[in-house]
């Protein structure tokens, strides 16, 4: 296992918060040790500056920065034995709107949110996942890594009761929704997590929705992470990762 290559301290460059009411920018206070003070609702956090992986941790043989992008790559010559993640350690988030651009060239990936690290040595996490795959079967679904599995397929709105039972509604055809997702090209992913209401959008279109009322299972806060899936060689790219706190 490679060493963690990223510092868990947020880069000391100033992060600006968007004040919605006035449409102006105001700086978020920076503590003496370089950590960002808790930001008000509406503030925007840039998870990746396009230059380095400050605040992130993962296997340095699998993750890199290329052309202003976070790149995760595995090979057939040196396959991984299990799913592994690039973990944003600098801050945890509860209610937010996350936006990112992704391009998957092969394999399976995803954006973890409200997640937790379950194996620090192997960079393994558990929690909600905005799914991405090159085969375009699962892209846009809500999957819970190392927990309850698929919570909502593409085109589904699912209400999970306190007892864990699911009430499902269909709002779109999975195949037709998939036609708006373009493997091998850049796509926009937007995740909205507002209390127990979770929504996934790809290229501006709602792909899945969950209302999670199972209080003993539903995560209220947690980390962000990016996935490399075990299996055949794969490459996934991310850029413009931002979070607006709700």
Place of tokens 């950590």: 35
Q: Is residue 207 part of a domain?
A: yes
Tokens at residue 165, please? Answer: 């039972």
Give the pLDDT confidence of 152-177 residue by residue, as tens digits.
Answer: 999 999 999 999 999 999 999 999 99
Residues spanned by the domain of 218: 56-245
Q: Are 187 and 199 in contact (CB under 8 A)?
A: no
**Considering its fold, how many domains does the chain have in total?**
1
Q: Is residue 123 part of a domain?
A: yes
**Any idea what the CATH number is for the domain that residue 103 is in?**
2.60.120.560
Q: Is residue 117 part of a domain?
A: yes
Give the pLDDT confidence of 171-226 residue by residue, as tens digits.
Answer: 999 999 999 999 999 999 999 999 999 999 999 999 999 999 999 999 999 999 99
pLDDT at 40: 65
The reported pTM is: 0.84
Q: Which has the closest alpha carbon to 200: 181, 182, 185, 184? A: 181
Q: How far apart are CA 121 and CA 73, in angstroms?
A: 19
Q: What is the mean pLDDT of the chain?
A: 88
């Amino acid at each position: 296992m490679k060493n963690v290559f990223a510092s868990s301290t947020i880069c000391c460059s100033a992060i600006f918060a968007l004040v919605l009411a006035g449409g102006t920018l105001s700086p978020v206070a920076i503590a003496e040790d370089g950590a960002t003070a808790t930001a008000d609702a509406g503030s925007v956090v840039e998870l990746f500056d396009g230059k380095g992986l400050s605040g992130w941790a993962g296997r340095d043989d699998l993750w890199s920065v290329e052309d202003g992008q976070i790149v995760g790559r595995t090979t057939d010559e040196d396959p991984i034995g299990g799913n592994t993640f690039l973990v944003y350690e600098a801050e945890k988030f509860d209610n937010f709107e996350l936006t990112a651009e992704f391009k998957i060239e092969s394999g399976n990936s995803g954006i973890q949110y409200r997640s937790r690290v379950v194996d620090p040595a192997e960079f393994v996490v558990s929690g909600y996942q905005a799914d991405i795959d090159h085969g375009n079967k699962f892209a846009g679904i809500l999957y819970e890594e190392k927990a309850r599995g698929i919570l909502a397929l593409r085109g589904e709105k699912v209400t999970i009761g306190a007892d864990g039972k699911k009430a499902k509604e269909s709002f779109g055809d999975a195949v037709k929704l998939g036609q708006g997702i373009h493997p091998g090209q850049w796509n926009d992913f937007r995740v909205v997590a507002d209390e127990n209401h979770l929504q996934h959008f790809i290229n501006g279109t709602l792909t899945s929705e969950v209302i999670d009322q199972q209080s003993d299972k539903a995560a209220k806060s947690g980390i962000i992470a990016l996935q490399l899936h075990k299996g055949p060689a794969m490459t996934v790219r991310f850029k413009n990762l931002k979070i607006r706190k709700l």
